[in-house]
Amino acid sequence: MNLNESPEDKAFREEVATWMAEHLVGEYEVLKHRGGPGDEEAYPELRKQWEKELAAGGWTCVGWPKEYGGRELSIEHQVIYHEEYARAGGPGRVGHIGEGLIGPALIAFGNDAQKAEFLPGIVKGETYWCQGYSEPSAGSDLANIQTKCWVGDDGDWRVSGQKVWTSLAMDSDWIFVIARCEQGTKGRHGLAFLLMPLDQPGVTIKPIHQISGSAEFNEVFFDEAVAKAGHIVGEPGDGWKVAMGLLEAERGVSTLGQQMHFAHELDLIIKAAKANGQDRNPLIRDRIAKAWSGLRVLRYNALRMLSGGADVALGREALIYKYYWSNWHRDLGELAMDVLGEQGDVPAEDFDILRLQQVFFFSRADTIYAGTNEIQLNIMAERGLGLPREPRG
Amino acid sequence: MNLNESPEDKAFREEVATWMAEHLVGEYEVLKHRGGPGDEEAYPELRKQWEKELAAGGWTCVGWPKEYGGRELSIEHQVIYHEEYARAGGPGRVGHIGEGLIGPALIAFGNDAQKAEFLPGIVKGETYWCQGYSEPSAGSDLANIQTKCWVGDDGDWRVSGQKVWTSLAMDSDWIFVIARCEQGTKGRHGLAFLLMPLDQPGVTIKPIHQISGSAEFNEVFFDEAVAKAGHIVGEPGDGWKVAMGLLEAERGVSTLGQQMHFAHELDLIIKAAKANGQDRNPLIRDRIAKAWSGLRVLRYNALRMLSGGADVALGREALIYKYYWSNWHRDLGELAMDVLGEQGDVPAEDFDILRLQQVFFFSRADTIYAGTNEIQLNIMAERGLGLPREPRG
Amino acid sequence: MDFSLTDDQIMIRDAAQDFLADKSDSGAVRRAMATHDGFEPDVWAAIGAELGWCAVAVPEAHGGMGMGPVELMLIQEQAGYHLLCSPFFSTVCLGATLLNSLGTDESQSALLPAVAGGELKLAVSMSDKLQLKADRLGENWSLNGQGLQVCDAVNDSMLLLFARAADGVGLFAIAANTPGVTLSSQTGWDATRRFSTVELDNVVTPMRCDNPGRLQQGGPRATALARLYIAAEQLGAAQRCLDLTVAYIAERKQFGRVIGSFQAIKHRCAEMMVQIEGLRSGVYGAAAQAASDAPVEILNMECAMAKALASDVLFHCAGEAIQLHGGVGFTDEYDPGLFFKRARASKTWLGTPEQLREEIAGVLL
Amino acid sequence: MDFSLTDDQIMIRDAAQDFLADKSDSGAVRRAMATHDGFEPDVWAAIGAELGWCAVAVPEAHGGMGMGPVELMLIQEQAGYHLLCSPFFSTVCLGATLLNSLGTDESQSALLPAVAGGELKLAVSMSDKLQLKADRLGENWSLNGQGLQVCDAVNDSMLLLFARAADGVGLFAIAANTPGVTLSSQTGWDATRRFSTVELDNVVTPMRCDNPGRLQQGGPRATALARLYIAAEQLGAAQRCLDLTVAYIAERKQFGRVIGSFQAIKHRCAEMMVQIEGLRSGVYGAAAQAASDAPVEILNMECAMAKALASDVLFHCAGEAIQLHGGVGFTDEYDPGLFFKRARASKTWLGTPEQLREEIAGVLL
């Protein structure tokens, strides 16, 4: 247990930092610290161009195997990469879902043709993906999928139904969907995992306006929309397995980068407090120290998770992580607005202030999406502490 | 809605205050502010003598009908009496259970012989009572009574079983007990309400030591203990009805007096803070203001309850009261110790400090006895908000 | 001592409830939010002319009903429950309260009858920063500077603003359409109540309203009452958050059960109920003090208590409403977000909870 | 960078767990609480002589094992879990840490080997108030005044006390049985760790321990490490509160169900787990910093974080343990009360959470 970095790690950190310092300039300067949660609508086209810039430097998909175009970085170097990317103010990654979710899923579960067709576009920063899991009646009860699919006369799949909470759908080319391929089944059985282009008749995207005014989530409606016969991942009936494997991958090294964004937000709070005198308010000082402490906990907790090896999901530290960071972040938003006071009442023109307002509003979603607080507590009590399961109705 | 007091009310307030100022002196001086929760073991004999002093002045059972020896005071005057009693530092009432619980129950449910036998002793401050409801397996699940009773060959009742959380048993002469008179029944049915002398073979009292070091609660064991044939209140099978009627009476006007004790505790905290400089700590100042605010809420909430008339138990203000005051009081205990700091670590010789330590420890019981927080929240959700009932196992 | 509502008070409360359920439902609130001035004129007209709410707390001598803070508190509770968008708050709760508390007889006679009749809108600053100067100009006054955080100022408002004069701080009335007045309104995150910055450039007005003999007691009393009325509104809003939530969880099913059957959800709602009922006791108690002979120092503490508690309880309940609505809770389509934004904005009005508690602590310690 | 425990570290932790489960169960703790000195000599003897815990963090040059803060943190976590009553904390976590951090080579050679061998008990003041004066007396020093909040001082302890000398504050070692020393110990609400006031009346000692060159860095480092070790103990105690509670609710039935099947109870336990695991990450992280090249300013913040969080988490968990045990929770017969008292007492040791956070804020702001 030692936090000293090896000379090699330090050199790699320097390499990433240098690349960022040299490339996140000029036309990309405006992207610094932009495009995060609640700010997804900022500069979508420029951010896609930035994805290609990253790809050109070999800084996409850094954890992927080399045979699929990745850098095959060690866990430690991936952490360093994400930290330095965020520390430099690297913008929210439009390619995140391709790189972090569907890419790894295809590497694990896809066939050779699928890998050949889809992975290069992700690595090059050219193809953007979004996710179609949740449905109006399948929120916390994720397996309650009503969207159905069947094989049409032409051998391709047809999909009808509705997905919801699909982020970045407007900026994406493709969506991956779980849909019920065996009618009459319930829960985790009888589902298929399909890859579908969004630009087709039969797919309608409707943005969901949030309380923060932004609309990064969408409803996606399918009306006999088409997925090619070759675009099912795994066999019909494997849908749940593939989807869950992919959710596992979601809790990855990128969280250390997320923490750097959090640290930046805390810095903005400190800056605002110094500017308006709240830095002398003892109750605010106490809460700023608490926020800083929570961020240390998050960092060490993530390091614990990453040091745990393959069985990481079994550890209590992994079970608590989503609950801890999302509630910490929500508290941070409240602290930010309490520091701003009346300054927080009107949408700010200064992005450093507006960002804090966004954090306040958007962070209310943090404790809801990807497993509400209530679901997280159930899981922790049942899997972490072995208490009796909650009965279904 | 007006808080001004009428001249008559003011005069009555003056009368009580004067009587207390003239009588809580001399040998009784040491009793000031003593004998409250967590301090029940203070001066038991002197406090019994004080009960007789009160009785001589006509200040016991002030709300009872005149025909039973009471003063038949209006609700408002009862409130004033309790407030002035507490404001003067009147000691914890050893006669409370007789005056506040069993007396009213006998007036409502007892027969003439029982009234004649028991009420005068209560009014005169000569007979002391305690309560036998809870059992090891009947805590939150109060109706799960295992103690059984049956009619012996001599026509008297025999009782066997165990009661727990019986306060003041050591200082009491009599106990009222609910026991199962119809074997094989469950829950609220088949119970009898019996009056029993404690000083008899077959009754064993065992004090329960608390974390605060005091032992005001007891276990009471019954081994074929005797209740006279005439000492059943109501009919066999009416036990639950009598017991519940009595618990209703418990939420009465005396709560305004309890609040005066709370106010005294807050004063002691302020005094301690001024003495050790914590009065300049902004975080402590914030919490002291919060505590004061909570006390205002308690007062107005109690006035709302009392103004509601007969159907008071239906109001949401009555449903929240126990939860509100007990959690407020527990927070007050934490505040007290945070103000004291290291001064709180060792049992104090100064009673003004020791009292705060007692509040800290004893108030942990406040959120447990007479309906735990968890049971209170169930009741509020189900009765107050109409949410579905929790299923039994 | 009597803590129950009179029949008249109950009638006023119930009438407000009925009117607002009809005229200030979710659709009406959203329509008002989208207007330039932040309210629908016909709702305001009904409040002033038909319902007579503006007259409730105006003395009978000035054409009012001569009732008091308890009645106004009850209306405000309903206004908060229905998130009423209206210059009622600024005109009656702030403006008329100021004039009642510290106005000269002349200014009361000049302004209160029109207020009571619903014919005049008053716009009042809620900031404690004073950036206005008043200079004598013959019989008149000339005002210069900025009025900050002026509530519900529109073109035909009468502005009531404090300004520093040679003889001390005074209260001045200025028609908003007087030459030299520039209103700049910005719609905040909470679009249900509007605030403007008002620039005054050599604005001439004849009307100085403060009665020096009333200022010392009346100033703190007006602030205390304004806090009480905000607290009442916050109380109503908190109650609405709970009611919206209970209605939602009684319908929404997950895992084959209504989510209101999950004990953890039940307890969270019960906790909201505890806080709301406690707050209601606190707000009603403070109102009862305002209607009694409490000295202004006591009233100050009571109303600071009510407003601090109300801000905290509303913020908690609005946050819980979002959380317990799940995904739809943070969408603009559902109503919890409206209350959440009001909760955030109102937290700072006339003092944050921390500032108010520090006021209380200053007396206690 | 490596955040996993080594095999040696795991072995040390597991051995401590086994030993304490056997020798520091509830009965043993209660026996120790009832003794005059607050610990059972045979348990202390086993810790020092057999298990070698006292040697863990002592340099090899002084007869120790030359390990570091991570190992000691792991032992302390177990000590807290089992509420170990022992002068181990004062001797090793406070005393040896002080000597390691800022002692002269001579004082280290004189004292550390006996500490490592379990032959010497050190008693150290935890107060930040300095009420001792040291005067030169030939080769020796004469001490006068009071040592406050001295931890685990018994008749055969060696006292390690700071005192003000002409050339600045120095650290002095005084055998507790030296003439002029008066120990007055008072058993606190938490009887598992004893504190004394020590009166020194012209007490003569030859041993001044501080190395002036090490004082500036070593003083803060020793304080930071001591906070870390307390935090580790609090972490263990918090974990025990959760474990006791989960065991109880899995057995206790009400309404025909184990109470652990009630969702609200489950969520409360899960919330404890969240806090405890977060704390564990924080404490382990601070220990890892202590074992790395972190400058003392960083270490200070990290350990202040760990101790503040640990105090809050333990207090919360101990309170929840009482509450979720119901009636038996506030009896002396069950164990939650013991942890609750430790939680309360340890909250102030080397800084309350508020004071520690103010230290952090002072750096950040």
Given a contact cutoff of 8 angstroms between Cβ atoms, the answer to whether B103 and B38 are in contact is no
Residue C203 parent element (H or E): strand C195-205
Q: Give A130's contacts (C-beta < 8 A, 6+ positions apart).
A: A97, A166, A167, A168, A169, A172, A174, A175, A198, A220
* Burial per residue of C319-345, b for 16 or more beta-carbon CB atoms within 10 angstroms, e otherwise: bbbbbbbbbbbbbbebbbbbbbbbbbb
Residues of B with Cβ-Cβ distance to A282 under 8 angstroms: 281-283
Q: Give D150's contacts (C-beta < 8 A, 6+ positions apart).
A: D123, D124, D125, D126, D159, D161, D183, D195, D196, D197, D198
The yes-or-no verdict on residue A311 having pLDDT over 50 is: no
Q: A141 and C255 in contact by Cβ < 8 A?
A: yes
Determine which of C267, C269, C271, C324 to mutate to test the interface with D (most D C-beta atoms within 10 Å).
Answer: C267
**Could you say which of A344, A357, A369 has the minimum Cβ distance to residue C327?**
A369
Task: Report which of residues B241 and A2 the model is more confident about.
Answer: B241
Sequential pLDDT tens for chain C (365 residues): 788 899 999 999 999 999 999 999 999 999 999 999 999 999 999 998 889 999 998 999 999 999 999 999 999 999 999 999 999 999 999 999 999 999 999 999 999 999 999 999 999 999 999 999 999 999 999 999 999 999 999 999 999 999 999 999 999 999 999 999 999 998 999 999 999 999 999 999 999 999 999 999 999 999 999 999 999 999 999 999 999 999 999 999 999 999 999 999 999 999 999 999 999 999 999 999 999 989 999 999 999 999 999 999 999 999 999 999 999 999 999 999 999 999 999 999 999 999 999 999 999 99
Task: Supply the angle between the helices D296-325 and D212-249 in degrees, to the nearest 10.
Answer: 20
Residues of C with Cβ-Cβ distance to A359 under 8 angstroms: none
pLDDT in the model for residue B314:
58
List chains touching D (3+ CB pairs under 8 A).
A, B, C
Token digits of residue A344: 């927080």
DSSP state of C267: H
Residue B287 parent element (H or E): helix B282-307
- Say if D36 is an interface residue toward chain C (CB within 8 Å): no
pLDDT in the model for residue C181:
98
Place of tokens 């507490």: B86
Q: A364 and C329 in contact by Cβ < 8 A?
A: yes
Q: How confident is the model at residue A251 (pLDDT cuts 50, 70, 90)?
A: low
DSSP A74-98: -HHHHHHHHHHHHHTTPPP-TTHHI
pLDDT in the model for residue B310:
45
Q: Give D143's contacts (C-beta < 8 A, 6+ positions apart).
A: D132, D133, D134, D135, D161, D163, D172, D174, D200, D202, D203, D204, D205
- Please report the sign of the dihedral spanned by the C-alpha atoms of residue D45, residue D51, residue D57, residue D63: positive
Residue C197 pairs in a beta bridge with C184
Q: Per the residue annotation, which of B53, B126, B250, B334 is the catalytic one?
A: B250
Q: D261 and B165 in contact by Cβ < 8 A?
A: no
Residues of B with Cβ-Cβ distance to A279 under 8 angstroms: none
Q: pLDDT (tens digit, 9 = 90+) per residue, A215-234?
A: 889 999 999 999 999 999 99
Residues of C with Cβ-Cβ distance to D267 under 8 angstroms: 264
Instruction: Tell me the whole-structure pTM to 2 decimals.
Output: 0.96
Measure the CA–CA gap between C80 and C133, rounded to whole angstroms. Answer: 35
List chains touching A (3+ CB pairs under 8 A).
B, C, D
Measure the CA–CA gap between C255 and A143, rounded to whole angstroms. Answer: 9
* CA proximity to B372, closest of B332, B327, B309, B306: B327
Planar angle of CA B343, B344, B350, nearest 5 degrees: 75
* Radius of gyration in angstroms for the set of CA atoms belonging to chain D, rounded to a whole number: 21
Q: Is C229 helix (H, G, I), strand (E, B) or coil?
A: helix
Closest residue on chain A to C253 (Cα): A137
Q: Give B110's contacts (C-beta < 8 A, 6+ positions apart).
A: B118, B233
Residue B103's identity, in one-letter code, is G
DSSP C292-325: TT--HHHHHHHHHHHHHHHHHHHHHHHHHHHHHH
Token digits of residue A151: 């094989």
- Say if B285 is an interface residue toward chain A (CB within 8 Å): no
DSSP D48-94: IIII-GGGTTS-GGGTS----HHHHHHHHHHHHHTT--STHIIIIII
**Could you say which of D255, D323, D340 has the minimum Cβ distance to residue B393?**
D255
Token digits of residue D310: 């640990």
Instruction: Indicate the pairing of strand D121-125 with strand D140-151.
Output: antiparallel
Residue B129's identity, in one-letter code, is W
Q: pLDDT (tens digit, 9 = 90+) per residue, D86-101?
A: 999 999 999 999 999 9
Token digits of residue B369: 């006895």
B250 is catalytic: yes
Give the gap in angstroms from C-alpha C268 to the nearest C-alpha of chain D.
9
Other beta carbons within 10 angstroms of residue B373's beta carbon come to 22
Determine which of D254, D267, D268 to mutate to test the interface with C (most C C-beta atoms within 10 Å).
Answer: D267
Percentage of residues in chain A having pLDDT higher than 90: 85
Sequential pLDDT tens for chain B (393 residues): 888 999 999 999 999 999 999 999 999 999 999 998 888 889 999 999 999 999 999 999 999 999 999 999 998 899 999 999 999 999 999 999 999 999 999 999 999 999 999 999 999 999 999 999 999 998 888 899 999 999 999 999 999 999 999 988 999 999 999 999 999 999 999 999 999 999 999 999 999 999 988 888 999 999 999 999 999 999 999 999 999 887 665 556 778 888 989 999 999 999 999 999 999 999 999 999 999 999 999 999 999 988 875 444 458 999 999 999 999 999 999 999 999 999 999 999 999 999 999 999 999 999 999 899 999 999 999 999 999 999 888
ipTM (interface predicted TM): 0.96
Residue A142's identity, in one-letter code, is L
Instruction: Indicate the pairing of strand B174-180 with strand B129-132.
Output: parallel
Helices (H), chain D: 7-23, 26-34, 41-45, 69-81, 88, 97-102, 105-116, 212-249, 263-290, 296-325, 336-346, 353-364
Q: Average pLDDT by consecutive 10-residue portion of chain D (365 residues)?
A: 88 96 97 96 93 94 94 98 98 97 97 96 95 96 97 96 95 97 94 97 97 93 98 98 98 94 97 98 97 94 98 98 96 97 97 98 97
Token digits of residue D28: 């043993």
List chains touching C (3+ CB pairs under 8 A).
A, B, D
- Say if A283 is an interface residue toward chain B (CB within 8 Å): yes
Q: A378 and D266 in contact by Cβ < 8 A?
A: yes
Other beta carbons within 10 angstroms of residue B311's beta carbon come to 8
Q: B285 and C263 in contact by Cβ < 8 A?
A: no
List chains touching B (3+ CB pairs under 8 A).
A, C, D
Give the gap in angstroms from C-alpha B281 to the nearest C-alpha of chain A.
9
Task: Supply the angle between the helices D263-290 and A316-340 in degrees, to the nearest 10.
Answer: 90
Q: C341 and A211 in contact by Cβ < 8 A?
A: yes
Q: A289 and D273 in contact by Cβ < 8 A?
A: no
Q: C265 and A374 in contact by Cβ < 8 A?
A: yes
Closest residue on chain D to C266 (Cα): D264
* Radius of gyration in angstroms for the set of CA atoms belonging to chain A, rounded to a whole number: 21
Other beta carbons within 10 angstroms of residue B228's beta carbon come to 15
Strands (E), chain B: 129-132, 148-151, 157-167, 174-180, 191-197, 203-208, 217-227, 232-233
Q: A378 and D305 in contact by Cβ < 8 A?
A: no
Q: Per the residue annotation, which of A41, A248, A250, A334 is the catalytic one?
A: A250
Residue B312's identity, in one-letter code, is V
Q: pLDDT (tens digit, 9 = 90+) per residue, D112-132?
A: 999 999 999 999 999 999 999
Token digits of residue B55: 């009785």
Q: A210 and C264 in contact by Cβ < 8 A?
A: no
Residues of C with Cβ-Cβ distance to A327 under 8 angstroms: none
Residue C105's identity, in one-letter code, is D
Residues of A with Cβ-Cβ distance to C192 under 8 angstroms: none
Cβ within 8 Å of C, B 1-40: 1-6, 9
Residues of C with Cβ-Cβ distance to A144 under 8 angstroms: 254
Give the gap in angstroms from C-alpha C54 to the nearest C-alpha of chain D.
47
Q: A213 and C332 in contact by Cβ < 8 A?
A: yes
Closest residue on chain B to A281 (Cα): B282
Q: D4 and A1 in contact by Cβ < 8 A?
A: yes
**Could you say which of C256, C322, C332 has the minimum Cβ distance to residue A392?**
C256
Given a contact cutoff of 8 angstroms between Cβ atoms, the answer to whether D253 and D304 are in contact is no
Give the gap in angstroms from C-alpha A65 to the nearest C-alpha of chain C.
36
Q: Is C343 helix (H, G, I), strand (E, B) or coil?
A: helix
pLDDT in the model for residue B1:
81
Other beta carbons within 10 angstroms of residue C37's beta carbon come to 19
pLDDT in the model for residue B290:
98
Q: How confident is the model at residue A312 (pLDDT cuts 50, 70, 90)?
A: very low
Termini Cα distance of chain D: 29
- Say if A44 is an interface residue toward chain C (CB within 8 Å): no
Give the gap in angstroms from C-alpha C259 to the nearest C-alpha of chain A.
10
Chain B to chain D Cβ contacts (< 8 Å): 90
Determine which of C254, C259, C263 to mutate to test the interface with D (most D C-beta atoms within 10 Å).
Answer: C263
Determine which of A283, A284, A288, A290 to mutate to test the interface with B (most B C-beta atoms within 10 Å).
Answer: A283
Chain A to chain B Cβ contacts (< 8 Å): 8
DSSP D205-253: ESEE-B-HHHHHHHHHHHHHHHHHHHHHHHHHHHHHHHHHHHHHHTT-E
Q: C267 and B304 in contact by Cβ < 8 A?
A: no
Given a contact cutoff of 8 angstroms between Cβ atoms, the answer to whether C325 and C242 are in contact is no
Helices (H), chain C: 7-23, 26-34, 41-45, 69-81, 88, 97-102, 105-116, 212-249, 263-290, 296-325, 336-346, 353-364
Token digits of residue D148: 């406050």
Q: Give C350's contacts (C-beta < 8 A, 6+ positions apart).
A: C126, C223, C226, C227, C230, C307
**Could you say which of A141, A281, A368 has the minimum Cβ distance to residue C254?**
A141
Cβ within 8 Å of B, A 50-79: none
Given a contact cutoff of 8 angstroms between Cβ atoms, the answer to whether B83 and B260 are in contact is yes
Token digits of residue B332: 């007050």
Token digits of residue B115: 């009234």
**Could you say which of D329, D332, D340 has the minimum Cβ distance to residue B209?**
D332
Token digits of residue B208: 């329960």
